[in-house]
Structure 1
Amino acid sequence: MSSGDKKQSGLARVLGSASAGVCEIGVFHPIDTITKRMMSNQTRVTTASKLNQVIFRDMAEAPIGKRLLSLYPGLGYAACYKILQRVYKYGGQPFVKEYLTSNYKENFDNMFGTHTGKAMLSATAGSIIGIGEVFLLPLDVMKIKSQTNPEAFKGRGFLKIMQDEGLNNLYKGWGWTVARNIPGSFALFGGNTFAKEYIFHLKDHNSASMAQNFGASICGACASLIVSAPLDVVKTRIQNKNFDSQETGWTIVKNMMKQEGVTSFFKGLTPKLLTTGPKLVFSFAMAQTLIPAFDRALAPKPKRND
């Protein structure tokens, strides 16, 4: 049974999602570095000088130009990871959603009602696609370590690190990543669809204007970041350790509770909402706008009858 949304081609989904990833990297990589460094910081930040040290590390006293350049570590890893992630997530979720729509739409409608059922179906498809995102974890690990713990690389390239460390170290924290992605992706796609249903009253969500896509993406992104924040902090702290660290996620949770308190699980949430939030909104809205645009551009032109 159809959901009412026009289907796009697979190529359009890949091109639109990849383009959104490229735009996101170009604009937001320095902001992402700042967020990751603040999330990894385990000390109190009470002065501007301390904040400067947390953000710029050993470049805290360098000229402003060098300080800004220091916010671009791991750009290659970030580009590979982000583009593949966006293609997989934004391009893949519609396929899962279409499968669920074809086979389970009536179940969702009967359980939640037509409009809420559509949002829940989209959210469930997001959760499923979020689980598979764990396969990209090695690139995410490389990106985060290069941003927060560059000495872990010691001049080694990706292939050398793969050989030296093995998959076990590169997939360290995979369970916490899955635990974060399930509610995070559920809220992202569910909140987005909910907004298109109840705020913009769209019958075909793929016909949304850019402004509507940005508005719906804000709802989804905020819900996603708030829901996934505690697990994201634990995941980041696992990944920013040296490769030989044996500290588990539960050990990190226990130490955070003991030494920093419950509020530590929401460290970096405010800057994340102010920085990662716009990044996620930007890429999600761009993907939702560009995918239909590529689909229209790639559609066969009708033959003219001369």
Structure 2
Amino acid sequence: MLKIKSQMYNQDGPVLSLLSSGRIRMPDLWTGWTWTMARNVPGSFALFGGQEVARHWLFKQHDTSVVQHFAASMFGATCSILVASPFDVIKTRVQGEHFGQSKSGFVVARELVRNEGFLALLKGVTPKMLVIGPKLAYGMGLAQLLSAKLLGREGNR
């Protein structure tokens, strides 16, 4: 949250100096936590669900090759980013409000859609796909591949 504030309003300085100066209160540090949870739950579901959909329905086999494993993980990462992005935009806008003047996430979402349209909920999705997508896909693919190999559920393809 402090990272977002410093990026939006050029507020530099350690947390303790902000707290001791009275510019922020301790509860202000957790602004937007509900939107973080709202982002993470469907995002995680889309990550694992998308990966399994690709593995079982697109490749139509349980025993996938390493390349297919990572391709399925990239599909899952893409699904996750697309599902989580609207929640992330709302969370960032909620956290970007000035300290003590925060709006409800639903108010922020309504104003965002009214003023900028529904596509505003997907702002920043391209950089996320380029930066976070490969990391998420690699981590997910490697974890799933190693898990399957160690548990003996995969062939040696």
In 2, the alpha carbon distance for the partners of 1:200 and 1:162 equals 56
Q: Deviations over 1:132-169 (max 9, x none)?
A: xxxxxxxxx345445x33733x3214x66677531x22
| Aligned-residue offset at 1:218 | 0.9
Trace 1:1-306 onto structure 2 (pairs within 5 A): 141-146=1-6, 148-149=7-8, 151-152=10-11, 154-157=12-15, 165-166=25-26, 168-198=27-57, 199=59, 201-202=61-62, 210-289=66-145
Query: Which letter maps to 2:25?
Result: E
Q: How many residues align?
A: 147
**8 Å contact kept, 1:214–1:282:** yes
| Aligned-residue offset at 1:245 | 3.3
| Aligned-residue offset at 1:234 | 0.5
**8 Å contact kept, 1:209–1:289:** no
- What runs of 5+ residues in structure 2 fail to find an aligned partner? 152-157
In 2, the alpha carbon distance for the partners of 1:236 and 1:259 equals 17
1:56 is matched with none
**TM-score (norm: length of structure 2):** 0.72
Structure 1 residues 149 and 184: CA distance shift in structure 2, 3 A: same
Q: Deviations over 1:170-196 (max 9, x none)?
A: 221122222222221111101112222
Provide the identity percentage: 39
Query: Which letter maps to 1:282?
Result: Y
| Aligned-residue offset at 1:264 | 1.0
Query: Which letter maps to 1:193?
Result: E
**8 Å contact kept, 2:95–2:102:** no
Q: Deviations over 1:27-60 (max 9, x none)?
A: xxxxxxxxxxxxxxxxxxxxxxxxxxxxxxxxxx
**TM-score (norm: length of structure 1):** 0.41
In 1, the alpha carbon distance for the partners of 2:19 and 2:60 equals 47
Q: Deviations over 1:60-119 (max 9, x none)?
A: xxxxxxxxxxxxxxxxxxxxxxxxxxxxxxxxxxxxxxxxxxxxxxxxxxxxxxxxxxxx
| Aligned-residue offset at 1:292 | 6.9
Query: Which letter maps to 2:62?
Result: L
